[in-house]
Amino acid sequence: MVRGFYIDKNGTLWVPTEGGLSRIKDGHILTLTTQNGLPCNTVHWMMEDDAQSVWLYLSCGLVRIGQSGAGRLGLPSKADDQVAVFDSSDGVSNHRFTGGYSPLVAKSADGKLWFVQSGGVSVIDPHHLPFNTVPPPVHIEQITADNKPYDATNGLRLPAGVRDLAIDYTALSLTAPEKVQVRVKLEGQDSDWRVPVNPRHAHYTNLRPSRTGFV
Q: How many CB atoms lie within 10 A of CB 32?
A: 20
> Rounded CA gap, 115 and 105, in Å?
4
What pLDDT shows up at residue 73?
Answer: 58
142-191: per-residue pLDDT in tens? 999 999 999 888 888 888 888 999 999 988 877 777 778 888 998 888 88
What per-residue confidence (pLDDT) applies to 84? Answer: 78
Could you count the other beta carbons within 10 Å of the beta carbon of residue 63?
21
Give the distance, in angstroms, between the CA of residue 45 and the centroid of all CA atoms in the same chain: 19
Q: Which pTM does this prediction carry?
A: 0.64
pLDDT band at residue 215 under the 50/70/90 scheme = very low
Say what the pLDDT of residue 76 is: 45
Neighbours of 68 (CB within 10 A): 15
Query: Do residues 95 and 59 make contact, with C-beta atoms less than 8 angstroms apart?
Result: yes
Domains for the chain: give ranges and CATH numbers.
Answer: 6-124 (2.130.10.10), 138-204 (no CATH)
Q: What is the pLDDT of residues 59-85, one digit of tens each?
A: 888 888 876 655 645 644 443 456 777
